[in-house]
Amino acid sequence: MGAQRVAIVDSGANIASLRNALERIGTHGLFTLDAKIIRNASHVILPGVGAAADAMQRLNDYELADVISELTQPVLGICLGMQLLATSSEEGNVRCMNIVPAVASILSAGSGAPVPNMGWCRVSQLGVQVLFAGIPDASYFYFVHSYALPVSGFTIATADHLEPFTAVLAKDNFYAAQFHPERSAGPGARFLKNFLSITS
Amino acid sequence: MLELTERYCAAGADELVFYDITASPDNRSVDRNWISSVGALLDIPFCVAGGIRSLADAEEILNAGADKISINSPAVARPELISELAKRFGSQCVVIGIDSRKVGNDWKVFQYTGDEQRSRNSERATLEWVREVQERGGGEIVLNCMSQDGERNGYDIDQLCSVQELCTVPLVASGGAGSMRDFEQVFSATRVSAALAASVFHSQEISIPDLKQYLDAAGIEVRL
């Protein structure tokens, strides 16, 4: 994978774990807010933690929302990064990039289903997907989130929190996972590898 | 330490929590280089605790490679710290550790428990504190039941159930694990999201793969 130029959009704090996960599978990810580097990358990863409004603000401050929307190479949103690809988030009623028509809404809390949803959840794959090559169906992945996208035509894997929500989606060259592959042990590492195997 | 980290990862631990328990009583905070080395190895969630008193402390630790920070004594000393951390980094990475035991008829929160000489009753009622930390944006609570801690007589089911009733965020049981049956009991008798243990794993008295097989056989959902 030496020829790959993986750009990771520097969306704020707490990014070391993703860089470490890429290093473990032999790939160096470059953290950047530079539109040119992002456009020229072979793969772009959009991570995110914290609040949707702050993250969108940061993308807008660096004029990256349009840059990301127009990318044609494989793009992977992770956690909040997934929600930023949606139309909007109910968290602070913020407009997002509208790459995937969906609205992020808060998970409902209930008995045995606390919010935030923090922990290992089984992920059900819908059909055969490149991103899940070599990963058994219903494998556990690590989630940390309070908001989620509903299941839609773009959903390629689901997880449950009282009801099913989108765990992974795909639309054209845009992919996104609600879980943290960088903290999901073996299946997470394989998921990242599979993403990096996708070519434009 | 790095050896332990690798061992737990390979054994299928679901999360690693590093407590530098003497950091607060010694008025320092946890070693950043150590966090970087462990973070580079780990492919499971990594939570760090010990003397985190400010946004700057928290940011350094998260940037060094921790996924979550856990605060205990400094939050009791200045509860606004919880709100500040949750606003800046999001509730999902703000874990509140609570050291609690019964004093008379009430559970009370203790501070600086990493040092016997300095350990003291904060006079805060545990149940009241559990409510407050959630209102302030704490995203997870680790309840360390002190009368059980190190005793290996099982988790404090009674206290965990009382705290659980007030929790809308994940609650992690801590203190008292001595046998595989203790884990089975805490998951059957309470709705805690996870159980934490240290000494039984460090001493290798309980192996994580064996424990998970045992819990699975008992009908408790675990990641195998």
The CATH number assigned to the domain holding B207 equals 3.20.20.70
B9 touches chain A (CB under 8 A): yes
Tens digits of residue pLDDT in A169-193: 999 999 999 999 999 999 999 999 9
Specify the higher pLDDT residue, A93 or A194. A194
Residue A13 pLDDT greater than 60, yes or no: no
- Split at pLDDT 50, 70, 90, the class of B80 is very high
Average pLDDT of the segment spanning B118-126: 89
Q: Identify whether B170 is part of a domain.
A: yes
Q: Do B14 and A21 touch (CB under 8 A)?
A: no
- The dihedral through the CA atoms of A127, A129, A134, A138 has a sign that is negative
Residue-by-residue DSSP string for A90-130: TTTTEE---SEEEEEEEPPPBTTB-SSEEEEEEEEE-S--G
> Angle at which helices B157-164 and B180-189 pack, to 10 degrees?
30
CA proximity to B141, closest of B119, B113, B174: B174
Minimum Cα–Cα distance from A185: chain B residue: B43
User: Is the pLDDT score of A130 beyond 90?
Assistant: yes
Q: What is the mean pLDDT of residues B26-54?
A: 88
Catalytic residue among A43, A79, A121, A145: A79
Position A3 confidence tier, pLDDT thresholds 50, 70, 90: low
pLDDT of residue B87: 85
Residue A120 lies in a domain: yes
Report the domain count for chain B: 1
A180 is catalytic: yes
Determine the structural domain holding residue A80 and report its residue range: 6-197
A51-55, A189-193, B133-137, B195-199, range with the lowest pLDDT: A51-55
Q: Which residues contact B60 (CB under 8 A, 6 or more apart)?
A: B32
Burial class (CB in 10 A: 0-12, 13-18, 19+), B9: middle
Structure confidence at residue B177 (pLDDT): 93
**Residue (of A112, A110, A136, A111) closest to A125 by Cα position:** A136
pLDDT digits (tens, 9 = 90+) for B94-103: 999 999 999 9
Q: Is the pLDDT of residue A2 over 70?
A: no
- Residue-wise over B124-135: b if at least 16 C-beta within 10 A, else e? bebbebbeebbe
Is the residue at B224 inside a domain?
no
d(CA A118, CA A164): 16
Say whether pLDDT at B27 is over 80.
Answer: no
Distances from the Cα of B76 to the Cα of B129, B145, B214, angstroms: 9, 16, 37
The alpha-carbon gap from B67 to the nearest alpha carbon of chain A, in Å, equals 7
Q: What residues of A are in contact with residue B14 (Cβ under 8 Å)? A: 119-120
Chain A: residues touching B (Cβ < 8 Å): 13-17, 20-21, 23-24, 49-51, 109, 111-112, 114-116, 118-120, 140, 142, 144-146, 180, 182-186, 188-189
Query: Does residue A1 fall inside a structural domain?
Result: no
Mean pLDDT of A25-38: 94
Rounded to whole angstroms, the Cα distance separating A33 from A27 reads 19
Give CA torsion, residues B19, B22, B26, B29, to 10 deg. Answer: -10
| B159-181: average pLDDT | 95
Q: Tell me whether residue B29 is in a domain.
A: yes
Interface probe for A, chosen from B17, B36, B43, B191 (most Cβ of A below 10 Å), is B43
Cis amide prior to A101 (ω within 30 degrees): no
- Would B189 be classed as within a structural domain? yes
Asked whether the predicted pLDDT for residue A1 surpasses 50, the reply is no
How far is B58 from B85, CA to CA, in rounded Å?
8
Identify whether B192 is part of a domain.
yes
The CATH number covering residue A102 comes to 3.40.50.880
Residue of A nearest to B63 (CA): A14
Residue B33 inside a domain? The answer is yes
From chain B, the residues in CB contact with A188 under 8 A are 43
Domain containing B153: what range? 2-217
Chain A residue whose CA is closest to B64: A16
- As for how many domains chain A has, the answer is 1
B157 found inside a domain: yes
Residue B223 lies in a domain: no
Angstrom distance (rounded) from CA A94 to CA B38: 36
Residue B119, pLDDT score: 84
What is the model's pLDDT at position B26? 80
For B67, the closest chain A residue by CA position comes to: A14
Whole-angstrom distance, CA of residue B14 vs CA of residue A130 = 26
Per the structure block, which two tokens stand in for B156? 């404090």
Question: pLDDT class for A14, splitting at 50, 70, 90?
Answer: low
Reply yes or no on whether A70 is catalytic: no
Mean pLDDT, rounded, of chain B: 91
Chain A residues with CB-CB distance to B45 below 8 A? 142, 144, 180, 183
What ranges in B79-140 are assigned the alpha helix state H? 80-89, 126-135
ipTM > 0.85, yes or no: yes
pLDDT at A185: 95
Q: Which residues of B138-155 are buried (b: 16+ CB within 10 A; e: fewer)?
A: bbbbbbbbbebbeebebb
Q: Is A161 a catalytic residue?
A: no
